Structure 1
Amino acid sequence: MRKKVKVDPSDKYLIPKGNVFRHAIQEYFSGEHFKKTQENFNMRKYTVGDTKIPYRVINNWDKNNLLPKGLKGNMGWRKFTFVELVWLKAIERFRAYGFSLDKIARVKASIVDWDKNHNEIYPAFEYYVARACFSDDDPYIVALANGVGGIGSTEEIEIAKQKHFKTNDMLLISLKSIVKEIGLTPMPPRPLIWLSNTETEVLSDLRSGEKDEVKIKFRKNKITDIETSETKIGSATQEIQKLNGEDRMYGSILAKYENGKRQSLRITKNRRVSDN
């Protein structure tokens, strides 16, 4: 079993990552389900010729810090992994849309995170490439006009657009379309590990150890509502503020008093689920 991978992608200021992402990526890297996939993803078998990108272009990209570190040895280019090949194809698309080399380098710094302690993998980027290959989700690389970049699932991007983006003008590059271009057919039969975002959210609540009770409502085999209850000692005002501004959240707070003093708060939160 592989060690836990610490992932703190620098794109968090553009597409924030929560507990759902952290649980899912740890499941991918620490479980046995995708061990073979990880080995294949990180096998260096693609030559520069396989990329169909001219040597001079790749050399220029390397000089401008667009490529991950360690790809060029003393004797010339080493072979690329599948994950690195996906990034090369993403650079091609950025260039086709007129992005400057400086802006692409800024995007790369946000999403292609190098981890020499774990076989020189790129944890967050590899995880989303795997989702593009083995789930019905279509993750995207997101780039704003100034080169600020991020990567995320369709749902993560939609949430970020509503809460964090100050503009709707952005370039989205589909990882699934790149995978198809390379010649792989995405979405073999869906493994159980690829839970929907909502299912992963429920699993996160169950594993957190903070909830006293978790209830789920179904309709036509899909989750429609998630209700969680927990007991806390704290400020009711703070908990009410947390509920405010959440479009899909509603709930109740019950205060328990004993001998004229508040002992605890019983907080029940309900989340409406728009899709799975």
Structure 2
Amino acid sequence: MKPIEERKNLNIRGDNFDLAYAEYFFGDRAASRFLNERKHRFHSEAVSYRILNHWEQKGLLSTERPEGKGWRKYSILDIVWVHIVSRLREFGFALEKIHLVKEHLSHEDESFSAFPELEFYIAQALTKVPSYIAIFPQGEALLCTLSEFETARSFGFIRDDSILICLNDILQKIYGDKDLKPDYSTNYDLTKEEVQLLIAIRLDLWSEIKIRGKGGKITMIERTENIENETKVVEILRSGNYQNIEMKQEDGKIVSIKRTVKKKIE
């Protein structure tokens, strides 16, 4: 990710952004794990496998492909990035310029997240907040909500013309059966727990959710999720300190795993 001093165009964010960003990555990371899990295949009439292979060779993409064989597997974060690259190619951006965009978005530690800021704004878009990536002629990239973009531009923090790509529209293409279109009519001030719940509901992360509240605030969240059978039991146990785990076995093999976790909200 490019240092701020090297950028000509800047976003304006307050303490609320810092708190929400930290909570997203260092709190309950269920949504982050889902967005980063490479288990999806990419289908698009506009982007052939030959093109994907070319972009991969140029260092624009990375995929899960054991020993270079079999179908490429992408995360939702990867697929959103492929759509962004495709849109930029439609606008005539050279691959070298798109590489600069990637440098602006990338994080040094990819085990954390390849594109942490992009991931955070994807999460915002999943709650129907109008979220965008602004691409500037020199290859600079800026992630923002629509209100952030308008505020930064009015105060002169955004100086150059840009292409605005709507993350909500990309997610709508990926999840065609869900209503993820941006909602411009509301401006709810959601708590971090409410944001996490909205993301989980829209992505079907949990099979069951129970919520307790008092005084208009969430006090307890109990969630149940189905876990893939390939997941090792030790990994499940390490992922939480307080959880109920239910496993079903047939013919000596585990056929289903359910985990229920309760979280008290202070």
Q: TM-score range by the shorter chain?
A: 0.5 to 0.7
SS of match in other structure, 2:192 = coil
> Of 36, 43, 48, which aligns to 1:42?
36
> Within 2, Cα distance between the matches of 1:100 and 1:133?
30
Q: Quickly say closer, same or farther: Cα 1:129–1:193, change in 2 above 3 A.
A: same
Residue 122 of structure 1 and its aligned partner are, at CA, apart by 2.7
Using the TM superposition, give the Cα deviation of residue 185 of structure 1 relative to its aligned residue in structure 2, in angstroms.
Answer: 2.7
Equivalence for 1:180: 172
Hey, what's the Cα distance between the residues in 2 that align with 1:174 and 1:187?
10
Aligned to 2:124: 131
Structure 1: segments with no counterpart, 5+ residues: 1-8, 197-276
Instruction: Tell me the secondary structure at the aligned position of residue 10 of structure 1.
Output: coil
State whether structure 2 residue 93 is matched by structure 1 residue 99: yes
In the TM superposition, structure 1's runs of 4+ consecutive aligned residues that sit over 6 Å from their partners are none
In structure 1, the residue matched to 2:10 is 15
**1:145-183 alpha-carbon deviations (Å, 9 max, x no partner):** 22222211223222332322333x210000000000112
Does residue 1:74 correspond to 2:67, yes or no?
yes
Once the two structures are superposed, residues 217-269 of structure 1 have per-residue CA deviations (whole angstroms, 9 ceiling, x without a partner) of xxxxxxxxxxxxxxxxxxxxxxxxxxxxxxxxxxxxxxxxxxxxxxxxxxxxx
Please, which runs of 5 or more residues in structure 2 have no aligned partner?
183-187, 196-266
Cα separation, partners in 2 of 1:24 and 1:72, compared to 1, 3 Å: same
Identify if the C-alpha distance between structure 1 residues 116 and 91 changes in structure 2 by more than 3 Å, giving closer, same or farther.
closer
CA distance in 2: counterparts of 1:143 and 1:74, whole angstroms: 34
Choose from 86, 103, 106 the match for 1:109.
103
Percent identity at matched positions?
Answer: 27
Q: Residue 50 of structure 2 aligns with which residue?
A: 56
Q: Over the residues paired in the alignment, what is the CA RMSD in angstroms? A: 3.0
Equivalent residue pairs, number: 181
Q: Which residue of 1 aligns with 2:142?
A: 150
Question: TM-score w.r.t. structure 2 length?
Answer: 0.59
Q: How does 1:156-195 map to 2 (within 5 A)?
A: 156-161=148-153, 162-167=155-160, 169-183=161-175, 184-186=178-180, 192-193=191-192
Report deviation, 1:74. Answer: 2.9
Q: Aligned to 1:87, which of 65, 81, 85?
A: 81
Return the offset for 1:132. Answer: 0.5
